[in-house]
């Protein structure tokens, strides 16, 4: 007994309505997308074969991009600008339109794509490598990334202040960092959850984890940089964040990168003069 076209269409429409009203549609779309593209996350894009990172020869905003490329095993090279080579490169980059706002990092890919803004770059690499957030989590990922940027700006503000002093360093470590670390501790995955998956969103590694790790790492490095003041293990009181930090750091490809010569040393632009030590009378 055959079916008519009309009967098949009615069945398909009924099935579509059933899926839609059951609330399962996003889940099914997600599975279909994963099956077709082989990549997790919202709206995946094609593979990236090779990347050039346009940035300075330092960690800074290049580090998240480097770590993501290392994790995804995408080969890359770097421009390694210096204060001598940057002005000319900036002029050319602005003229060509590649450095939209006269700033780096930027990336160019072998596929001819060029992008600026470190978080946008991280998100794009995420889409190309299955490290994008799920569609339902996009806004949450945005919140985390922008919050991380706000926290980051507090440290940059003092680091690039020409009057940066040990008092500013101590104020940051005693007041600013604990406030922000407290916010992130609240939303970090629970220790129980971290036993199976330490990541912040969707129970799997996404670009946002790289941003948060880099943020925590900058704080750890800053607080243990010798400026003649007591060195502080800044994450010690934040159990969930510290666990995430340690687990992320131990991911095999990340760990290999962090130990490699490709990882630049942590540097501070204006190291403050240490406080004069009191000389004890003999």
Ligand X SMILES: N[C@@H](CCC(=O)N[C@@H](CS)C(=O)NCC(=O)O)C(=O)O
3 state DSSP class of 52: strand
Q: How far is CA 134 from CA 41, 138, 185, 258, in A?
A: 4, 6, 22, 28
- Rank residues 252 and 265 by Cβ distance to ligand X and give the closer one: 265
As measured in angstroms, the least distance from the Cβ of 188 to ligand X is: 23
Distance from C-alpha of 256 to C-alpha of 212, rounded to nearest angstrom: 19
- Rank residues 136 and 161 by Cβ distance to ligand X and give the closer one: 161
Q: For residue 182, how many other CB atoms are within 10 A of its CB? A: 12
Phi then psi for 53, rounded to 5 degrees? -95, 120
As measured in angstroms, the least distance from the Cβ of 252 to ligand X is: 28
As measured in angstroms, the least distance from the Cβ of 274 to ligand X is: 27
- Rank residues 103 and 194 by Cβ distance to ligand X and give the closer one: 103
Are 49 and 109 a contacting pair, CB within 8 Å?
yes
As measured in angstroms, the least distance from the Cβ of 9 to ligand X is: 50
- Per the document, the length of the chain is 282
- Rank residues 57 and 197 by Cβ distance to ligand X and give the closer one: 57
User: Pairing relation of β-strands 114-116 and 76-78?
Assistant: unpaired
3 state DSSP class of 43: coil
| Degrees to nearest 5, angle at CA 190 with 187 and 193 | 125
- Rank residues 212 and 251 by Cβ distance to ligand X and give the closer one: 212
Distance from C-alpha of 63 to C-alpha of 76, rounded to nearest angstrom: 13
- Closest chain position to ligand X (CB): 103
Question: For binding to ligand X (CB under 6 A), which residues are involved?
Answer: 60-61, 90, 102-105, 117-119
- Rank residues 75 and 102 by Cβ distance to ligand X and give the closer one: 102
- Rank residues 33 and 119 by Cβ distance to ligand X and give the closer one: 119
As measured in angstroms, the least distance from the Cβ of 93 to ligand X is: 10
As measured in angstroms, the least distance from the Cβ of 55 to ligand X is: 8
As measured in angstroms, the least distance from the Cβ of 36 to ligand X is: 32
DSSP-derived letter for residue 81 is B
Measured in whole angstroms, the distance separating CA 228 from the mean position of its chain's CA atoms is 31
């Amino acid at each position: 007994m055959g079916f008519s076209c009309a009967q098949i269409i009615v069945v398909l429409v009924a099935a579509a309505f059933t899926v839609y009203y059951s609330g399962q549609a996003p889940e099914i779309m997600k599975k279909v997308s994963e099956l077709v593209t082989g990549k997790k996350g919202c709206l995946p894009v094609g593979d990236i074969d090779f990347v050039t990172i346009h940035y300075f020869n330092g960690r800074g905003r290049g580090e998240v991009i480097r770590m993501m490329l290392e994790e995804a095993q995408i080969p890359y090279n770097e421009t390694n600008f210096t204060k001598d080579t940057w002005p000319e490169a900036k002029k050319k980059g602005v003229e060509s339109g590649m450095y939209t706002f006269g700033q780096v990092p930027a990336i160019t890919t072998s596929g001819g794509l060029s992008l600026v803004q470190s978080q946008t770059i991280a998100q794009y690499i995420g889409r190309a490598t299955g490290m994008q957030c799920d569609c339902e989590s996009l806004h949450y990922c945005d919140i985390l990334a922008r919050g991380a940027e706000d926290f980051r700006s507090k440290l940059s503000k003092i680091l690039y202040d020409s009057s940066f002093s040990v008092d500013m360093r101590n104020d940051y470590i005693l007041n600013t960092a604990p406030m922000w670390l407290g916010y992130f501790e609240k939303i970090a995955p629970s220790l129980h959850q971290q036993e199976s998956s330490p990541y912040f969103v969707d129970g799997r590694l996404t670009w946002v984890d790289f941003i948060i790790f880099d943020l925590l790492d900058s704080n750890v490095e800053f607080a243990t940089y010798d400026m003649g003041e007591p060195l502080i293990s800044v994450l010690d009181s934040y159990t969930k964040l510290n666990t995430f930090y340690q687990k992320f750091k131990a991911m095999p490809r990340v760990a290999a990168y962090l130990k490699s010569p490709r990882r630049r040393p942590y540097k501070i632009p204006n190291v403050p003069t240490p406080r004069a030590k009191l000389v004890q009378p003999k």
